[in-house]
Every structure is written in structure tokens, then in C-alpha cells.
Amino acid sequence: MKGHIIINKDLCKECHLCIHFCPKDHIVPTKEYNIQGYRPVAVHEGTECTGCGICATMCPDVAIEVYRE
């Protein structure tokens, strides 16, 4: 199964739990700042998402949506 994620950068508070738990290293930190003053995470374009949903489950700020194809 293939998936993709959408990250709401304005909700992300840079906890990096999604990065830590993603089994495919599909999420990476960024250097840009969001409206809250945090550096949100982003999708690493060189990897594929499996749609497992662990990132969204771990995100305490509900900043990640997972879609499966």
C-alpha cells in the first residue's frame, strides 16, 4: 500500500516525534520558521510513504494527515 502525508506547518511545534517513529525516514526537520516561531517538519521527497499512520498517531498537535492509495 502506498500513502502520502500532509503536514500543517503552522500547527507543528518541532517535537520531532514523527521523525523518530517514521519507519521510512520520510519526515525531516526544516530550517524555516512557522507563524508560532517553531521550525516545522517536512516530507523528504527522496523517500516513499507507506501510509502506516504512525506519524499522525504520534503527533501531539494533530499536524499530520495520512492518506492511503
pLDDT given at position 3: 95
Q: Any idea what the CATH number is for the domain that residue 27 is in?
A: 3.30.70.20
pLDDT given at position 33: 98
pLDDT given at position 24: 95
Which residues span the domain enclosing 42? Answer: 3-68
**What's the rounded Cα separation, in Å, for the pair 69 and 66?**
10
- Output DSSP code: residue 54: H
What is the residue-level pLDDT of the chain in tens, covering all 69 positions? Answer: 799 999 999 999 999 999 999 999 999 999 999 999 999 999 999 999 999 999 999 999 999 999 998
* Strand, helix or coil for residue 64: strand
pLDDT given at position 69: 86
**Residue in 67, 63, 60, 69 with CA at minimum distance from that of residue 34:** 63
Q: How many domains does the chain have?
A: 1
